[in-house]
Structure 1
Amino acid sequence: MNKQIEEPQKSVVPQSIAVLIEKYKEDDVQLTDILVCFKDWSESEEGDYRDEISWVVANPETFMRAWLIGYEVEKEPQYMVPLLTDKEGNKKILVERRESTTSFGIMRMRTTGMSC
């Protein structure tokens, strides 16, 4: 009789939940304490980490598996944006990121380099 033992599947969690798990594990916080406190905190309208608390309360089994077995971080969606091409074949785009804001503008990019 050859029975294979299947490894439990790791949970897939958002990046913010992964950070939360690592922080609380580092601080030696108990899983049961988190679940009880988060349930109470979710009923309050004040405080930090509102999105994370709501996620844990809505997904307790996933959170517990992530805590006990391990997890994979949810992949952020990626988007493909076609670039504008002028009559000379130059691609045009400029991306500027500041904190949580992303701005787009126009820039000429030639095969030999870039110019603004």
Structure 2
Amino acid sequence: MAHNTPKKASPEDWHPADIKAALEKKGWTLRALAAHHGIKGSSSLSHTFERSFPLNEKRIADALGVPVQEIWPSRYHPDGTKKPRGLRGAIASAATRKCTADACQRNGNELARA
């Protein structure tokens, strides 16, 4: 029989079970934390384990008393700013790449000098 266990988004992120255990040590459950913030069910908080929801990530981190970048280092820079993901992340990483001679000529850009 297969079990539906939540998967970690990244190897360096805390495991969902570790987050839940840390919340319980602080006296919180996902349901109680959701109710505290006026959320009807705990499912939106539990979805944070699989996908990035910055507001819910902040709520969980605040309840634990740790910075969000400690719990989800794959989602945040060390200074706590959000890492770009998806199309924004692709554009940001493309902008930091140096232009090769052929690609720059095709795009009408000047070659980046190192």
Structure with the larger strand share: 1
Larger Rg: 1
Structure with the larger helix share: 2
TM-score relative to the length of structure 2: 0.27
TM-score relative to the length of structure 1: 0.27
